[in-house]
Chains A and B, each alone.
Chain A
């Protein structure tokens, strides 16, 4: 490898994985003065970062991640300023709906937990909720209400980041699978498959930002940390007349619903389909499509007549304690990992920023999430 290493290009940092967190890390490192390459096996933001529901909500964010999500929410709303190109981020209020007594308790509990972390969520009456969202089902008993909510069109994310990264001088290397990383005292050598016909990249630092594939990437460095793969189903309708004007979720978190300016309504919430790390999202589970659609059409009855335009799947990563993995790769100098934030799209750009601050030797605005805690931690239900 040393021969190859000598002939390769040297970078201050190579980021492997071009989703939101990898892109944001690369961008902030470059803005911090580093020479950065960003590598992805496909195009930028075409996995979870480009196919998620684009919900920018605090209702579904883990309570402890609320301060991160609130900062990231602002970054998304200002995307045109720091990316030079927007993602149609749109601020609207968010409601969490309760249709049963048990769900009312859950709404209270979840609102309280998030308020402790600074989310301005209050529990409101059905009458007040219907003023805010006239489209909601008349059987509503209670709702959590948050003024900081909204959505983006996730499919635009790759284009916006590509624009910003290129402008910042990051070497964006798409459609080029990494085969492995050799780490030693002299730094890291990022190797590509033979098909890439590209010499390895030599880097002082590497950042692993591969979403659900972080587990495989850590294994390149000899580190075993299990990452669970969620296969989330998403459903979008054809353009319909205005049927709602907020972001809606339900008490247990398993619905996300919003209508875009173009009239299409996106239905998500984390109902599971078939798929895995190796094959990606394979197909929707019929019973979960039915469940998700029933919940959506129950929450907003006018949706029943909407026709479905497209169904797809996206992979979401989760650690053993369901908290992010952001910080130093245990036992490997100058190797970092960033990912597995629940509702990762919402908080992604901020997570990349604090990752970059740490790598640049600055004090991160908020604490990282030490990967070492996950060593040896069993995956629940595994």
Chain B
């Protein structure tokens, strides 16, 4: 492993989405030496995703509002002189906040004084029969295809799940020239109407939603509220999607006639789960808040965690939406600047109050959306016994239930007994749903906890860590006693 480069870093920011990038800019403005790291090729995160390296928009393809916001952020960053390491994955973080990266040049480590984790979220999918078939992708994955290369998931797509991504993906597909077979929303019209007072806090975003819906209406796309996917069958290159009516908890309504849609792609997502890999790895204190996406690092309003020098910001700190993430990142940045002695108490208080005021309205909007995306217990309860929950290790719901009946009481025990969460994704995909399944036996999510965080945060090969060496370079300790 390479030695830590000599140049001292005050703040290392993981994730260059709206929260991380704005935090980096604000921290630099406060006089901190900042290093901004992201595994993507440029800043923007998931919401303002950059085009792949070397790509430009074809003539006639209009930039979306999000693309323009992303371009503005990328311009601002490149003009700032902030040191950015794009195309670098953080694979390990030590207790001293030493951050180990893997990039094109190999493995490199940095030792910052403070660390801000702004790693966003992972999409949750509540499993159904057929969910692991090729051609069935997440709503977030669909947005990656659409945003990065204007690609369609298929010719004709069923869009299903919950939250604002449903409308965003369905309208994105229509705009890109695809067909949407149907939109299946676990929420009811009434659920959406209940969020209206909060949505009014951001008329611009509300208007965007209205436009999306109008577009679907004009295209004659069936929009089924209180419906979910019961199962998907593959028939050659086509899917037969069995939609099913659900109740307010997401549980299938018995005896409701299924509605069948034909499609060649399915985009499905049941909300977003905050990315807590780094804070769990560092054993920061966490708490469970279903309305904010699930387990989150226990942090104050400015993202200070239970570990000195470790901050969280953006949706990874608890879902409040992209529009609120920038101010949240800046709140963490000024907290860090103050904690490192670069911002006086008065200046910090002034900045904090200003940023909190800026954060409140979009956060109210974002949290209303997070509420729509929260895990629905009935949907989890409705998972069929033979449906795979952990797709890395092919662990079914029945196996999870059996482990619980055999006495598994916490997530790590469940992992050991069934291999659920032991695969390459480290439980990012299945952890939330598996937690809900185990909690149904044990009592609550707090009691079952979450998977212990483990390195590597991203898979890294032995060759990459080992580097170039001969046998003589291996620092073999003295022999064990006979």
Contacts and interface: CB of A to CB of B under 8 A. Distances in A.
Interface stretch (B49-57, B342-350, B422-430): B422-430
Interface string B446-462: 00000000111001111
Given A155-B417, A158-B413, A254-B476, A312 B461 contact: no
A50 interface: yes
A308 B417 contact: no
B204 interface: no
Interface in A12-47: 43, 46
B330 interface: no
Interface stretch (B72-80, B243-251, B465-473): B465-473
**From A162, A253, A294, residue with most partner B Cβ within 10 Å:** A294
B476 A310 contact: no
Contact of B463 (A113, A172, A287, A304): A304
B135 to A, nearest CB: 23
A308 B461 contact: yes
B479 A286 contact: no
Contacts of A92: none
Interface string B63-93: 0000000000000000000000000000010
A139 B474 CA distance: 15
A367 B366 CA distance: 68
Contacts of B455: 283-284, 310-311
Contacts of B94: 283, 286
Interface of B: 1, 92, 94-95, 98, 100, 109, 403, 406-410, 412-413, 415-417, 419, 422-424, 426, 454-456, 459-463, 465-467, 469, 471, 473-482
Contact of B416 (A100, A159, A172, A291): A159
12 contacts: A113-B482, A155-B417, A159-B406, A172-B407, A252-B478, A252-B480, A254-B477, A286-B100, A308-B462, A309-B426, A309-B456, A310-B422
A344 to B, nearest CB: 14
B480 A46 contact: no
A67 to B, nearest CB: 15
Contact of A293 (B403, B459, B465, B482): B465
Contacts of B412: 46
Given A282-B95, A284-B455, A291-B474, A43 B413 contact: yes
A7 interface: no
A131 interface: no
B454 A310 contact: yes
A309 B467 CA distance: 18
A213 interface: no
Q: In the complex, which range does the number of interface residues on chain A fall in?
A: 35 or more
Contacts of A305: 461-463
Contacts of A156: 416-417
Given A155-B415, A294-B469, 7 more contacts: A43-B410, A284-B92, A291-B476, A295-B476, A297-B463, A307-B462, A308-B462
Nearest to B98: A286
Interface in A140-173: 155-156, 158-159, 162-163, 166, 172
A295 B459 contact: no
Nearest to B100: A286
Contact of B417 (A158, A307, A312): A158
A381 to B, nearest CB: 11
A322 B479 CA distance: 14
Contacts of A50: 416
